[in-house]
Amino acid sequence: MHLLVTPLLYRIFTIQASPQNTRLIGILLLIEFSVVMVVHMVMNEFLLHAVTFGLGVLLVATQTIKLVSQRVPHPFTRKKLRNIGLFGVCSFVFGYMVWLIDEWACNPLIRIRHSVGLPLAFVFELHGWHRRSIHHWLDPRQSRGSKNHRSSSSDDKLNLVKQNFGADLTVNYKTHPEWSKEVLRLTNGEGVDYILENGGSGTIGESLNAIKMGGNISVIGFLSRAEQSKMPDIASLALARGAVVRGIVVGSTQLLEEVTRFVATKGLRLPVDKVFAFKEDAVIEAYEYVSSGSQIGKVCIKVAE
């Protein structure tokens, strides 16, 4: 947005300027652009970004209309161009206000869309490309547009998550050591689109065999290490599948805010397996419980009533 507006501002304000003023205007606009972008990206700040963008576009529009009046001698042509400029200004103001409403009234709009349902929900979609738009008023699993596959070494756990948490397909990797073959069988040979890989080098080969062409594998752990002699050829496997293998340590603040907002908006209740007190013995017990791997869901430590 600012990458588009800033060069236009520079061109309009320097069209009749001296070389010295042209350089000065360029420096000032560069400073303004840099400050706004850094503040917006680092602090996830919206107001400064929105206000400066709006002012920039309005300056471009008003200065363009002014230049038309000064430089187009023919009255009829000048009037036509000015009308086009005014129409552009009005269109921008309307779209800009819709954008601001969608940003500042996001949660109320989500609730309205959720309550009225399709097809009336599209009336309240405003500018539909917004990152928090249509998927919020769909069912959580529909919003992902996906089937949920789970793997575990325990059939009891798999049955529990299938009954209580909506897993579509499950695979026991002890029963099926080469579990990628079972995944391919269950998906009619297609494979899966997205894999959360928490095994590391010991299981990444199976993940690459189970991934669909062009799929994504996010490596989030390294619970299973392969011997050097048995290390899979990750480069060749990824190339053969056209897969993206990405390591993820922790998400950004923005991603955390978005998933928190999604959970709150949908009223989702995350499964909590066990809650421990905030005491030394209880905290140690909590970590030991997590290490045992017997939990299904979150293990929490309650720090306050």
Residue 301's nearest CA partner among 281, 269, 274 is 274
Residue 296's nearest CA partner among 157, 164, 151, 149 is 157
Was 127 annotated as part of a binding site? yes
Residue 60's nearest CA partner among 29, 106, 27 is 29
Was 74 annotated as part of a binding site? no
What are 154's two structure tokens? 């325990």
Give Cα 66 distance to the centre of its chain.
Answer: 41
Cβ atoms of 106 and 132 within 8 Å: the answer is yes
Q: For residue 141, give the 3-state DSSP assignment.
A: helix
For residue 271, cis peptide bond before it (omega within 30 degrees of 0): no
CA geometry: angle 119, 125, 127, nearest 5 deg: 140
Q: At what angle do helices 47-71 and 75-104 cross, to 10 degrees?
A: 170
Q: For residue 118, give the 3-state DSSP assignment.
A: coil
Question: Greatest CA span in the chain, whole angstroms?
Answer: 88
Q: Which of left, alpha, beta for 189 (phi over 0: left; psi -120 to 50: alpha)?
A: left
Cβ atoms of 216 and 188 within 8 Å: the answer is no
CA dist., res. 204 & res. 296, Å (int): 23
Name the helix (H) or strand (E) containing 132. Answer: none
- Provide the annotated binding site: 127, 130
- Annotated binding-site positions for Zn(2+): 127, 130
